[in-house]
């Protein structure tokens, strides 16, 4: 085929590509043509921040995109031109001041749609690629990066290096992430925990007191529903990515550790200021939201390597020197005690201790750590116990075999998000009063409990977050840090949750048949008032429960009139509209005789409940993330940067601006590594 | 029974009342004891604004609250004390400067719960009451209003007259209400209408450009789910009310027009400034959101009287003089041409014309009205046609018998929200350049289409609102009014809507059985990209449709990959995840052989769809409102008043402050009526 004929075919493919491409399955996200550039078209950059560049040239072997030539042409070139410099393109290696990388080749396969998946007909693609490692763009402005391949085909990526003031305005940043938290959930949490008289709340959420409110858009670079990995990447690096990817753009190569990296705010902050970093989560600590602070991998599920990255940073490529966090508190002991789930079977308690960390494994020890030293606190196997179980139904902590030493005992002395966050703040304050600190504190199980349709536990986690925010703000005030600390509370994505009325559970239980039971739902005026704020002495042992801290939590988790709450897409499940006293909910299960990947409603989960047939694929045993923009609450220096509506990456650029992490300079020069004088 | 024994019984009743009271059914909202004060405890007031006071003393005849004495004691007293004046209570009539009203008596009944309703055992209550009409509190501060009844029982209401600056900062207020609009819906509308490249939107919603974002809490005074009547009341009067109530607190008397009134922002603005008022809606114009601008009734469904109130204001009680709006545009012709649905069978087209209104009935006539004259524009029977039908599937306007003259013809020449709003702004600008204007423009069918689970039409209405906001802002700029006009876009409540992924409709249709069809849903990475922004020439007649105005609407409403969208509570229905080309959706219907009030999934609505059994009472044929806080976007003078989280009544106080409508003075003095010098 002559070049001109090939060009014609390619352009036809391109014109029709939106139909075949970019839906349920994609050949490669962000790459609709056969020439791929990462970071892709429309990417934003912080001046001086490190990133890798990945180029790929695709040659489909078969499938609807096949051209008849399955051999990718390795002779491709890559230039970068900055707008306003007469558009003169410069060879990328020259601009970056690095050597021209070698060409690599590999093959991958994908399904073009669900029919192809059912038929198991994969479309194969041969690839020639290369990667420029640890480069930066230092001059603010707009760039055109051009990959020229296949004898004249071009992929152009417009890159925007933001012109951000360099003056540091905040010494510290405290970033709270309510994983999966939406405005709808905050509204419901307020309703069950705060008393209202004739429609006027007598107390409110700590979140309600924040002066500036924003909404951030959470979608991925290549799909409109995100997971926590790539949304955390966006929040921490200013680059949107792909589901399951941490701190990298997802390329097509088989190695999950060679994808093009982007530098995280934790890495930038430590590199430029020498300040301290804290990472706190109620999840297993290798989970996506904490992991994205330091990990760079296509596959978030490589948990052992994630924990290794907390301690040692990036080890397989030249990257920024990472000195470890000052504070690392959460669950996930299975990546720490030596076993098949820890990286190379190593003992990470020991390895952290070798690097000078004090290691604690329960709330009592946490309370008495030496705040002058770095601290690792791992308090359970897997995710930590939920607020509702720790505070209202503590018997549920027994028999879980969650002891953080992995001996199969129980983890009964677990701290909550508040205790971990406050202790972490003490360490950071003690150690980094001069250069400042950055802490990410995650209420992880808002998301985890929404996934299993356990709305009471999810709202309990949200209320614990709110209580933690309140206590943290008081701590900042008390220690004179409030004026120097930007506090942000946001989420990484939503779940399609809301409340539509009340349910008279007594009436519900007294009816026979699902259609009659549905008559227990009270809508509009018949929703009535929240009974969760009223202690009910007639309701047995857990009546009159009021959380001891004086914070605002429900006085009664099990009233007669409950919330008619739910999500908008779900697996098969039964619903009885009340708190699950025996522990977190399991709505859908396998049934003997059906394939193991197929789920049905659990009749044990809500024995008196109505049956709700699912709307998700039958392979889903739980609910899923949703599209909605999520709220951003901000207070402190630079708070005004977080008002209105914007992308999740703008949270990164706002924090980076506030911390003075934009370091404009000449392209090709290495920006200073850590150890430079703090600019605050 | 001696007084002391009676007091003991009452206090026991009070202690146990939260269990019996205030849920599915209530004896009377806001009145947990037997002595009722309206406005109730915790009410806020604007200095100088008119309101009525209603007092009631309840004597239960039977039921769980019965005391053995079914005769309400008519000897009750009512005093008001202002904090800081040594707490000295003053007789209310004296304080207000009115005569002591006479005592009235009546009886009403209620069900104590669903069991009582099933058994048809009503609890009856005898009432003695009185009402103080058209009073005001003029001195800012906190008051204690005390009803003393039944020989010493007391009901105390704390009232807050807000200390609001009187200086007028905006000449005009333009209030947009997206009925039922949530953040989740805005996110979905953006996704289908705005192109995105690698996760970066190339255009955005007009709403996304607003500098200040807030959230308002929408709950009623006596239930946590609201309807549009009482939420509109809160937005327009600063008083939360009860479901179905417009501009009044709901009392227990049988007359739906004697409930205690509160003054609306339209009434206040006209009274104090002589400025112009515009009311625009895509609903029938007697619907709650427009109605609450001028109507004062317990029952929003008294549509004929609502239309009468637009023209003549309050006619059965002394109230503010209302001179009629300058602009009244919408649907609902059935309350205008003489028929059983118009008030007293009168011809309201003629009555409006008699008061100097030019009357128009189609878009063509609307375009050429004399903007120097007041205008009534009624463009269809019932709700107006939807954006999607007017612009994409216009055949659906035929055969609807919606002609506004009531002759059974079709209303084919209907304007959209944009055309009505812009023309209304022209009238107001022409007539009230000096004294200013206030316009409320409602995108009513976001709500109406969400109710019937017709998500595409709902999002079309939302996009039309956004397009209208954009055009209105441009008009304000062009006419030099932007700096003088506060623009607010908000909602009155939500629906529990969200998007969880995509649906491959081709795969969906090819599967047999609901469980297999569910495999067509793509979640997370498999949600892919929005196909609504890409014209698809292979998809037949409506391919390449781009709305002609240049605004951002979907290029393709019927792509292969659609949104997996839904609400979290619903009636029985079938779902096929695609646009209904034949007109608005009817998800649930009656089935022969079942009671007429019982609904089942309509098999005609989505013939190839999966069956989703409902979660609402079987009496519901559509979805319902939800709890979520709703967004507030603001721009212009006073925009900063609308940031953060607050109640829906605060929207009123913000607008009133900005328009200088707080008029502090001496209690007992009449505040000035309209005709006073404009303060702007």
A515 touches chain B (CB under 8 A): yes
Q: Do A627 and B191 touch (CB under 8 A)?
A: yes
As to burial, measured by CB atoms within 10 angstroms (0-12 exposed, 13-18 middle, 19+ buried), residue A678 is middle
Q: Mark yes or no for CB contact B569/A534 under 8 Å.
A: no
Which of B55, B42, B44, B46 has its CA nearest to residue B671?
Answer: B46
- Inform me whether the C-beta atom of residue B106 falls under 8 Å from chain A C-beta atoms: no
Cα distances from B217 to residues B176, B182, B438, in angstroms, run 17, 12, 23
pLDDT for residue B550 is more than 60: no
Write down the pLDDT at residue B596.
85
**Residue A442 assigned ligand-binding role:** yes
pLDDT of residue A596: 85
- Nearest 10 degrees: CA dihedral of B180, B186, B187, B192? 110
B558 is in an annotated binding site: no
CA distance A244 to chain B (A): 9
* Contact state of A628 with B222 under an 8 Å Cβ cutoff: no
Is the pLDDT assigned to residue A546 strictly greater than 70? no
Sequential DSSP letters for B12-69: HHHHHHHHHSSSSS-SSTT--SSEEEES-TT-EEETT--EEEEEEEEEE-SSTT--S-
The total number of residues shown for chain A amounts to: 680
CATH for A23-162 (3.40.50.10490, 2.60.40.10, 3.40.50.300, 3.10.450.50) = 2.60.40.10
DSSP states of A6-35: HHHHHHHHHHHHHHHSSSSS-SSTT--SSE
Q: Quick check: B115 and A41 CB within 8 A?
A: no
For residue A443, give the 3-state DSSP assignment. strand
Rounded alpha-carbon distances, angstroms, from residue A478 to A134, A206, A373: 41, 17, 21
Provide the 10 A C-beta neighbour count for residue B254: 10
Answer yes or no: CATH 3.40.720.10 is held by domain A172-496+625-658. yes
Tell me the H-state helices in A159-276.
Answer: 183-193, 228-237, 265-273
Nearest Cβ partner of A566 from B564, B568, B625?
Answer: B568
β-bridge mates for residue A385, sequence order: none
Examine the pLDDT at A549 and tell me if it is beyond 60: no
Q: Does B535 touch chain A (CB under 8 A)?
A: no
Query: Annotation-wise, does B227 bind a ligand?
Result: no
Lowest mean per-residue pLDDT among A33-37, A146-150, B669-673: B669-673
Assembly ipTM: 0.95
Strands across the sheet with B497-504, in order?
Answer: B521-522, B497-504, B561-567
What's residue B318's pLDDT? 87
A94 DSSP β-pair partners: none
CA distance A257 to A247: 11
According to the annotation, is B447 in a ligand binding site? yes
Are B528 and A223 within 8 A, CB to CB?
yes
Q: For residue A24, give the nearest of B212, B219, B502 by CB distance.
A: B502
Asked if B522 contacts B499 with a C-beta cutoff of 8 angstroms, the reply is no
Residues 558-587, chain A, touching B (beta carbon < 8 A): 560-561, 564-569, 575
Q: Do A521 and B615 touch (CB under 8 A)?
A: yes
- The percentage of chain A sitting over the pLDDT mark of 70, rounded to a whole number, equals 92
Residues of B in contact with A518 (CB under 8 A): 614-618
∠ CA B364-B366-B371, rounded to 5°: 140
B564 to chain A: which residues are within 8 Å by CB? 569, 615
Q: Is B389 annotated as a binding residue?
A: no
Question: Per the CB < 8 Å rule, is A520 touching B114?
Answer: yes
Contacts of B567 in chain A (CB under 8 A): 498, 568
User: Per residue in B207-238, pLDDT tens?
Assistant: 999 999 999 999 999 999 999 999 999 999 99
Could you tell me which of A610, A490, A107 has the C-alpha nearest to residue B612? Answer: A610
Q: Coil, helix or strand for B155? A: strand
Q: What is the C-alpha separation between A506 and B115, in angstroms, rounded?
A: 10
Which pLDDT belongs to residue B85?
A: 67
Tokens matching residue B394: 């216009």
> Residues A350-359: pLDDT tens digits?
999 999 999 9
Average pLDDT over chain B, rounded to whole? 93
A544 and chain B: CB distance < 8 Å anywhere? no
pLDDT (mean) for B173-198: 97
Whether B24 contacts chain A with CB within 8 A: yes
Tokens of A131: 């990667």
Residue B145, by phi and psi: left (phi above 0), alpha (psi -120 to 50) or beta?
A: beta
Q: The tokens of B440 are what? A: 């409320």
More confident residue, A405 or A4: A405
Give me the pLDDT at residue B316, please.
Answer: 85
Closest chain A residue by Cα to residue B112? A526
B389-430 pLDDT per residue, tens:
999 999 999 999 999 999 999 999 999 999 999 999 999 999
Quote the pLDDT of residue B135. 96
- Say yes or no for a CB contact (<8 Å) between B26 and A528: yes
User: Is there a contact between B523 and A227 if contact means CB atoms under 8 Å apart?
Assistant: no
Q: Is A536 on the interface with B (CB under 8 A)?
A: yes
**Confidence check: pLDDT of B655 > 50:** yes
Q: Which of A33-37, A70-74, A197-201, B534-538 has the lowest mean pLDDT?
A: B534-538
DSSP structural state of residue B488: E
Number of neighbouring beta carbons within 10 Å of residue B395: 10
The answer to whether B442 is a known ligand-binding residue is yes
Q: Is B533 on the interface with A (CB under 8 A)?
A: no
Q: Tokens representing A140?
A: 């603010």
A531 contacts chain B (CB < 8 A): yes
Checking if the pLDDT of B2 tops 70, the result is no
Q: What is the mean pLDDT of residues B18-25?
A: 61
Please tell me the distance from the alpha carbon of residue B454 to that of residue B566, in angstroms, as a whole number: 9
The dihedral region occupied by A48, where left means phi > 0, alpha psi between -120 and 50, and beta the remainder, is left
- Nearest-Cα distance to chain A for B511, in Å, is 10
Q: Is residue A536 pLDDT above 70, yes or no?
A: no
From CA A288, how far away is CA A247, in angstroms rounded?
A: 10
Catalytically annotated residue among A220, A228, A602, A626 = A228
pLDDT at position B679, please?
46
Whether residue B546 is predicted with pLDDT greater than 70 in this model: the reply is no
Q: What is the dihedral of CA A550, A551, A557, A561, to 10 degrees?
A: 110
pLDDT for residue A548: 41
| pLDDT, average across residues A286-299 | 98
Nearest-neighbour CA in chain B from A324: distance (Å):
31
In this complex, is the C-beta atom of B12 within 8 Å of any C-beta atom belonging to chain A?
Answer: no
> Å from B413 to nearest chain A CA?
36
A644 CB within 8 Å of a chain B CB: yes
Residue A493 annotated in ligand binding = yes
Residue A668 confidence (pLDDT): 85
Is A239 labeled as ligand-binding?
A: no
Find residues 193-212 of chain B whose CB sits inside 8 Å of chain A: 196-201, 204-205, 207-212
Q: Which residues of A touch B214 (CB under 8 A)?
A: 213
Instruction: Please choose, from the candidates A330, A446, A423, the residue with its C-alpha nearest in 3D space to the C-alpha of residue A374.
Output: A423
CA pair distance A208, A359, nearest whole angstrom: 36
Whether B115 sits inside 8 A of A631 (CB atoms) is no
> How many angstroms separate the Cα of A128 from the Cα of each of A41, A562, B537?
20, 59, 34
Q: How many whole angstroms separate alpha carbon A588 and alpha carbon A626?
A: 19
Q: Tokens 């690792």 belong to which residue?
A: A376
Query: Using an 8 Å Cβ cutoff, are B182 and B441 in contact?
Result: no
Residue of A nearest to B202 (CA): A42
Structure tokens at A307: 């924990």
pLDDT at B620: 96
pTM given for the model: 0.95
**Greatest Cα-to-Cα distance within chain B, rounded to the nearest angstrom:** 86
Q: Mean pLDDT, to the nearest integer, of B67-90?
A: 91
Q: A265 and A652 in contact (C-beta within 8 Å)?
A: yes
Indicate the domain borders of chain B: 3-162, 172-496+625-658, 499-612
Contacts across the A-B interface (CB distance below 8 Å): 385
CA distances (Å), origin A66, targets A26, A33, A59, A125: 15, 12, 7, 9
- Separation in Å, CA B198 to CA A13, A112, A132, A484: 19, 20, 21, 35
pLDDT at B12 over 70: no
Given a cut of 70, whether residue A87 has pLDDT beyond it is: no
- Please say whether the beta carbons of A320 and A313 come within 8 A: yes
Element (H, E) at A214: strand A212-217
Q: Residue A567: list chain B partners with CB under 8 A.
A: 498, 568
Whether the CB-CB separation of A288 and A300 falls below 8 Å is answered with yes
Q: Which residues of B are catalytic?
A: 228
Peptide bond into B502 cis (omega under 30): no
How open is the CA angle A372-A374-A375, to the nearest 5 degrees? 115
- A contact residues 128-187, partner B, Cβ 8 Å cutoff: 182-184, 186-187
* A621 marked among binding-site residues: no
Give which of A182, A262, A500, A533 to mutate to test B binding, by max B Cβ within 10 Å.
A500
């Amino acid at each position: 085929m002559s070049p001109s004929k090939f060009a014609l075919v390619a352009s036809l493919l391109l014109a029709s590509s939106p139909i075949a491409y970019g839906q349920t399955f994609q050949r490669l996200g962000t790459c609709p043509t056969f020439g791929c550039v990462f970071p892709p078209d429309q990417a934003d950059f912080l001046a001086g921040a490190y990133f890798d560049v990945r180029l790929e040239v695709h040659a489909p072997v078969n499938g609807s995109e096949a051209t008849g030539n399955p051999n990718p042409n390795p002779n491709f070139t890559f230039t970068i031109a900055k707008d306003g410099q007469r558009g003169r393109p410069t060879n990328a290696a020259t601009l970056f001041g690095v050597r021209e990388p070698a060409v690599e080749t590999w093959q991958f396969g994908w399904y073009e749609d669900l029919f192809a998946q059912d038929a198991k007909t994969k479309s194969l693609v041969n690839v020639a690629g290369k990667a420029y490692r640890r480069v930066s763009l230092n001059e603010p402005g707009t760039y055109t990066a051009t990959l020229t391949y296949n004898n004249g085909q071009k992929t152009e990526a417009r890159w925007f290096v933001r012109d951000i003031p360099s003056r540091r305005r905040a010494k510290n940043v405290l970033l709270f992430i309510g994983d999966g938290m939406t405005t709808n959930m905050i509204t419901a949490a307020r309703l069950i925990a705060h008393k209202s008289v004739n429609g006027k709340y007598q107390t409110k959420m700590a979140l309600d007191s924040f002066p500036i409110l924003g909404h951030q858009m959470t979608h991925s670079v290549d799909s409109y529903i995100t997971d926590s990995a790539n949304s955390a990447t966006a929040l921490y690096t200013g680059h949107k990515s792909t589901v399951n990817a941490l701190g990298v753009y997802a390329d097509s190569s088989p190695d999950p550790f060679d994808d093009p990296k982007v530098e995280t705010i934790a890495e930038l902050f430590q590199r430029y200021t020498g300040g301290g970093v804290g990472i706190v989560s109620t999840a297993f600590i290798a989970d996506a939201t904490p992991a994205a602070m330091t990990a760079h991998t296509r596959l978030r599920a490589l948990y052992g390597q994630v924990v290794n990255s907390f301690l040692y940073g990036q080890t397989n490529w030249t990257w920024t020197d990472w000195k470890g966090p000052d504070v690392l508190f959460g669950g996930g002991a299975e990546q720490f005690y030596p076993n098949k789930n820890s990286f190379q079977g190593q003992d990470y308690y020991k390895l952290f201790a070798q690097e000078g960390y004090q290691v604690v494994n329960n709330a009592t020890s946490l309370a008495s750590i030496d705040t002058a030293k770095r601290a690792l606190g791992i308090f359970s196997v897997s995710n930590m116990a939920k607020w509702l179980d720790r505070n209202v139904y503590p018997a549920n902590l027994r028999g879980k075999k969650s002891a953080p030493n992995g001996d199969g005992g129980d983890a009964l002395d677990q701290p909550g998000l508040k205790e971990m966050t406050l202790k972490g703040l003490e360490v950071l304050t003690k150690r980094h009063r001069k250069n400042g600190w950055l802490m990410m504190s995650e209420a992880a199980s808002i998301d985890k409990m929404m996934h299993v349709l356990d709305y009471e536990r999810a709202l309990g986690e949200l209320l614990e977050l709110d209580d933690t925010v309140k206590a943290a703000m008081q701590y900042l005030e008390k220690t004179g840090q409030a004026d120097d600390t930007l506090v942000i509370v946001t989420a990484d994505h939503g779940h399609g949750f809301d409340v539509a009325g009340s349910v008279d559970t007594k009436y519900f239980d007294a009816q026979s048949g699902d259609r009659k039971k549905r008559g227990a739902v009270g809508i509009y005026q018949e929703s009535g008032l929240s009974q969760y704020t009223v202690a009910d002495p007639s309701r047995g042992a857990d009546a009159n429960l009021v959380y001891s801290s004086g914070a605002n939590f429900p006085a009664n988790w099990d009233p007669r009139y409950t919330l008619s709450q739910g999500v908008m897409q779900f697996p098969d499940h039964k619903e009885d509209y009340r708190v699950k006293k025996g522990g977190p909910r399991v709505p859908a299960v396998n049934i003997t005789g059906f394939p193991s990947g197929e789920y049905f409603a659990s009749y044990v989960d809500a024995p008196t409940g109505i049956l709700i047939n699912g709307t998700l694929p039958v392979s889903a045993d739980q609910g899923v993330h949703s599209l909605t923009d999520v709220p951003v609450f901000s207070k402190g220096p630079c708070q005004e940067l977080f008002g209105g509506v914007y992308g999740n990456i703008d949270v990164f650029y706002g924090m980076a601006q506030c911390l003075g992490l934009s370091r404009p300079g000449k392209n090709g020069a290495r920006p200073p590594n850590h150890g430079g004088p703090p600019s605050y």
